[in-house]
Amino acid sequence: MEDYWDGETEELDHTDEPQAEPEGCVGDLTMQEVYLDQLREALYERAGGIDQITDLLQQLKETDWVVWLNNAGARITVCRGCNHYVRVSEATTLSELTWLGDGLYCLECAERILSEHTFTCDICGHDFHARTPPAPFYICPECDSPSVAFALSSLAAQLARAKRQGLPATLTPRQWLNTLDYFSWRCAYCLRADFTCLDHYVPVVQGGGTTQGNCVPACTSCNSAKGGRAPQGYLIKASAFTRVAEYLAQFCEQENLGNTPGQA
């Protein structure tokens, strides 16, 4: 393709020996009139005769203009975001977004794409990048682990359940992990078995929401011992209920629950 331009390239390439350029043309990538005149002349000459015009137009169509302009010293590229030409000096890679490779973007696209892929971690509060919006919560790679994922999947399910019933659903990932840490990721009732489920102190069927003041970790047997019944007695010691109620009471005031565990 280069040999289409034998002889003419030098004539068109003004980057090496700038003559007295008119004001407004210096360093501007837009085709200015002075260059257009020269270009027209070069094209007429190149076409030679009326018979060659179709061939020439086809050649022009097939020319990779970015390569051609860069060979002439223009230093331009095509923004991968908006497909517009951009100066290489004003383009940037998005190396933070590893899946994008080393493509160049104009600054507007870079800013937009970066913000579309930046999320604030629901646990530590730091920003992190992800290809698709993390769901159901924004959890950064540093905070993520199998146990956190397990804890948050039960949280997501219980938030959805409370919402479906029209009950308060305000327990955040950070609050839930704080509660789990408080009980050392064990059952809040027996304090022995590992946590396996999120327990509503006031059961959902009795109007207990998925909130910080109503949720504790439980093991499967304590949870089923409680069932959907009022949280007194049954197979769990009264002292366990008192302990859990005391822990939850500190959050209840802010939540204005109609069904305060401390009063149960």
Binding site for Zn ion (CB under 5 A): 79, 81-82, 106, 109, 121, 123-124, 140, 143, 187, 189-190, 193, 219, 222
Amino acid at position 158, single letter: Q
Q: How far is the CB of 16 from Zn ion (least distance, A)?
A: 29
Cβ closest to Zn ion, residue 59 vs residue 92: 92
In the complex, least distance from residue 225 CB atom to Zn ion, rounded to whole angstroms: 8
Task: Pick the closer one to Zn ion by CB: 67 or 124.
Answer: 124
Query: Residue 194: which residues within 8 A CB-CB, separation 6 or more?
Result: 185, 186, 187, 219
Residue 88, Cβ neighbours under 10 Å: how many? 12
Give the residue with the Cβ less far from Zn ion, 109 or 202: 109
CB of 128 to Zn ion, least distance (A): 7
CB of 249 to Zn ion, least distance (A): 20
Residue 229: which of 203, 197, 258 has the closest Cα? 203
- For the bound state, the minimum distance from the C-beta of residue 210 to Zn ion, rounded and expressed in Å, comes to 19
Are 38 and 25 a contacting pair, CB within 8 Å?
Answer: no
> Which CB, 190 or 264, lies closer to Zn ion?
190
Q: Which residues contact 31 (CB under 8 A, 6 or more apart)?
A: 39
| Nearer of residues 224 and 263 to Zn ion, judged by Cβ | 224
